[in-house]
Structure 1
Amino acid sequence: MEDIRKGMPVLARHAGEWVGVYTHVDTDNNLIDRHKSHLTCTFPAEGPHAYHQTNVYTWDDGRQETHVFPATYRAGRIFWDTDRIEGHAWEVDPRTVCLYWERKNMPGWYLYEMIQLSDCGNHRGRTWHWFENDQLVRRTCIKETRLK
């Protein structure tokens, strides 16, 4: 099996726990939603998934959601196919990972995500561009700091 850490060294630098805030806006930059996040990114030594991410979202009113995203690795990319999303990610340069994914419960929608990791590895910025029927309808900005 190919070694994901060698094939995707930028992604490998994301291992650990991250806390941050997701801010969702419409195309006029009106706030749609804002919530806190706690993500855990791991690279299991055994099993069918080379990458595993758990996202915990918390809103100010106490609501909480947890989503799990195991991924396989091949040919320099990771691939998701979960009950929630299907997509893949690839590295662009020494700081950047890009993702393309579709939400299975939202036919006609797809997203592109770009993640920038700081040189020190403790900060990252992420942006999502949401498209419905090939039209930009929403953006998400995420600011995160490494917890551990």
Structure 2
Amino acid sequence: MSAARIDIRREMPLLARHEGEWEGTYIYVDTDGKIIDRHRSHLSCTFPTEGEFPYLQINRYYWDDGRSEIIHFPARYADGRIWWDTERIRGWATSVPIDTESRTTMLMWVRKDMPDIYLYEMIQISADNQKRGRTWHWFRNDELYQRTIIQERRVG
């Protein structure tokens, strides 16, 4: 087991609770609440024992029209956060230290192909680690223009 894996699990116990397979639905809405996209998802959250990245998330998206997409999000660990810098995004995730029962993880990231856009995400995991609720708040030029609402359940 690598030192990076030991550090990330010890330093980010809330993130460690997300390890596994998650299925859900992503619903994108504009600021008036109108649905602009909807698709199914399967996410794998892992802590590899080898390699340069102590965290790897693989997102699989499936639309009803047959489209699909698979994206790999390897992350490094430093200063109590995981950090992404991939071809697609740059950002971080950290736990919100409310108390010992904290269930909230916050993320901030930018899409590299959308330079005037950034996102804040909140993930809330259930006490039994079987359900997650997530919301993304999309900002363009510092103005909120859409949200993504995600409900997930653990499948492995």
State whether TM-score is above 0.5. yes
Q: Which deviations, in whole Å up to 9, do the C-alpha atoms of 1:94-126 show, x marking residues without a partner?
A: 201000000000011000000000000000000
Aligned length: 148
| Correspondent of 2:9 among 5, 10, 26 | 5
Corresponding position: 1:141 with 2:149: yes
SS of equivalent residue, structure 1 residue 44: coil
Q: Tell me by how many angstroms 1:47 deviates.
A: 1.2
What are the within-5 Å matches in structure 2 for residues 1-148 of structure 1? 1-2=3-4, 3-93=7-97, 94-148=102-156
Deviates more, 1:89-98 or 1:121-130: 89-98
Greater share of strand residues, 1 or 2? Answer: 1
Deviating more after overlay: 93-102 vs 78-87: 93-102
Q: CA deviation digits over 1:15-55, x for unaligned, max 9? A: 00000000000000001100000000000112110100000
SS of residue in 1 equivalent to 2:96: strand
Using the alignment, how far apart are the partners of 2:30 and 2:105 within structure 1?
Answer: 24
* Counterpart amino acid of residue 48 in structure 2: P
Quote the Cα distance in structure 2 between the aligned partners of 1:74 and 1:102.
Answer: 19
Give CA-to-partner distance per residue, 1:60-80, whole Å, 9 cap, x none.
Answer: 111100111000001110000
**After the TM superposition, which segments of 4 or more aligned residues of structure 1 sit over 3 Å from their partners?**
none
**5+ residue gaps, structure 1:** none
Percent of aligned positions that are identical: 59
Mapped partners of 1:130, 1:50: distance in 2:
27
Gaps of 5+ in 2: none
